[in-house]
Amino acid sequence: SKNHPFYRLTFFAQAEHQRMLKEKDMENRMEEALTNREFVVYFQPKIELKSNRYVGGEALVRWLNPQKGLIPPDEFIPFFEENGFIIKLDLYVFECVCQHIRIWLDAKLTPAPISVNLSRAHLNNPHFLDNYILIQQKYNVPPHLIEIEITESLLSENLETVIWAIDKIHNAGFTCSLDDFGSGYSSLNMLSSINVDVIKLDRAFFKSLDMENDRERAIIETIIDMTKRLKMRTVSEGVESGLQLEFLKTIDCDMVQGYVVSKPVPVNEFEKMIFKERG
Ligand code: C2E
Ligand code: CA
Ligand code: CA
Ligand code: CA
């Protein structure tokens, strides 16, 4: 039966074996995939609730594998974080973003700021930002159009390094946001030493679509209130329903990023959305 210890053992051994094969395959193919431009940057728009306008977007990578089709980041980012390839991939994503912003600027469009995810692996290198600055300068992109997202889970590991990294990010003129806030790693008092511009509320807060639970609402409202007092802007992530949107409006959340606005889309669709209303 399936509960027999031997069955369970072979099941796990097989699953483990499958995972190893998959990782070996990724390891063998990653460099070539980068050269062949198999990694594609999608964009998810952010809207400002007050005005209902597009005010930015997040760059999210996908792997367009010739055999396997579009692979979501959760299937390769964790492995690339382990083997270090994420550093190259993040820089590649950043270069794609700068290229697009340059195209928009040249077309006399007013681009909204774009955020990119910065993996923890970068922070082991004291010069981690140098390559970002070189790329930003190569495309002559005004740094305020770039936002760098660091994840909350970093705070529990090395607060000093994160504080130092945020300083570097600010000195380069980039905006800095704290991603996945409230996902469980940081304590609130860490926020007093974390000088970010934007807090992104983790999408776990928006699991119930109807927003009928008083306690859940109270927690979201309190976080938004607190971040405002700390002079930070707030983005609610993973918002899927109109009821959530209405609630967030009433409690003065600044921005929303979620399927209720749009899923992450290829660049040409993103351009249509954000430049439509500006002509
Ligand atoms: P993240 O940085 O928290 O990005 C937000 C994720 O939430 C995206 O998943 C987005 O598609 C998803 N999302 C947004 N709104 C909704 C919604 O309303 N409902 C649901 N169900 N999901 C929503 P995605 O694109 O699959 O990315 C997953 C994670 O992979 C990202 O989470 C980020 O941690 C990582 N990632 C993606 N691109 C990059 C990258 O270029 N570099 C690094 N280091 N990590 C990346
Ligand atoms: Ca993010
Ligand atoms: Ca994340
Ligand atoms: Ca997030």
Q: Whose CA is nearest to atom 45 of ligand 1?
A: 117
Three-state SS letters, the chain: CCCCHHHHHHHHHHHHHHHHHHHHHHHHHHHHHHHCCCEEEEEEEEEECCCCEEEEEEEEEEEEECCCEEECHHHCHHHHHHHCCHHHHHHHHHHHHHHHHHHHHHCCCCCCCEEEECCHHHHHCCCCCHHHHHHHHHCCCCHHHEEEEEEHHHHHCCHHHHHHHHHHHHHCCCEEEEEEECCCCCCHHHHHCCCCCEEEECHHHHCCCCCCCHHHHHHHHHHHHHHHHCCCEEEEECCCCHHHHHHHHHCCCCEEECCCCCCCECHHHHHHHHHHCCC
Nearest ligand to residue 74 Cα? 1
Q: Is pLDDT of 153 > 60? A: yes
Query: Hey, whose CA ends up nearest to atom 12 of ligand 1?
Result: 238
Ligand nearest to the CA of 45: 1
Please give the distance, rounded to the nearest whole angstrom, from the Cα atom of residue 155 to the centre of ligand 4: 15
**How far is the CA of 254 from the CAs of 52, 181, 228, in angstroms?**
10, 15, 9
pLDDT tens, residue by residue, 81-128: 999 999 999 999 999 999 999 999 999 998 999 999 999 999 989 999
Query: pLDDT of 204-231, one tens digit each?
Result: 999 988 888 899 999 999 999 999 999 9
Residue 91 near residue 54, CB atoms below 8 Å: no
Q: Report which protein residue has its CA nearest ligand 1's atom 38.
A: 60
CA of 17 to the centre of ligand 4 (A): 30
Place of tokens 């609402």: 217
Q: 219: which 2 tokens?
A: 């927690």
- Residue 141 Cα, ligand 2 centroid: separation in angstroms? 21
Residue 208's pLDDT is 87
What is the residue whose two structure tokens read 């959305």?
273
* Whether the CB of 72 sits within 6 Å of ligand 1: yes
Amino acid at residue number 118? L
Please state the ipTM of this predicted complex.
0.98
Instruction: Answer yes or no: is the C-beta of 152 below 6 A from any ligand 1 atom.
Output: no
Question: CB of 264 closer than 6 A to ligand 1?
Answer: yes
pLDDT in tens, 178-197: 999 988 766 777 888 899 99
* pLDDT at 185 (0 to 100): 67
Whether 90 lines ligand 1, by a CB cut-off of 6 Å, is yes
Establish whether residue 117 lines the binding site of ligand 1, counting it when its CB lies within 6 angstroms of any ligand atom.
yes
pTM confidence score: 0.94
Cβ count near 120 (within 10 Å): 17
Rounded to a whole number of angstroms, the CA Rg of the chain reads: 20
Output the residue whose Cα is nearest ligand 1's atom 19.
238
Ligand 1 pocket member 119 (CB < 6 A): yes
Is the CB of residue 209 less than 8 Å from the CB of residue 243?
yes
- CA–centroid distance, 202 to ligand 4, in Å, is 5
Quote the ligand 3 centre to 84 CA distance (angstroms): 17
Mutate to test the pocket of ligand 1, among 39, 58, 62, 77 (most ligand atoms within 8 A of CB): 77
Q: Which two tokens stand for residue 70?
A: 């579009």
C-beta of residue 164 within 8 angstroms of C-beta of residue 113 = no
pLDDT, tens digit, for every residue of 9-23? 677 788 888 889 999
Distance 23 CA to ligand 1 centre (A): 21
Q: Whose CA is nearest to atom 44 of ligand 1?
A: 119
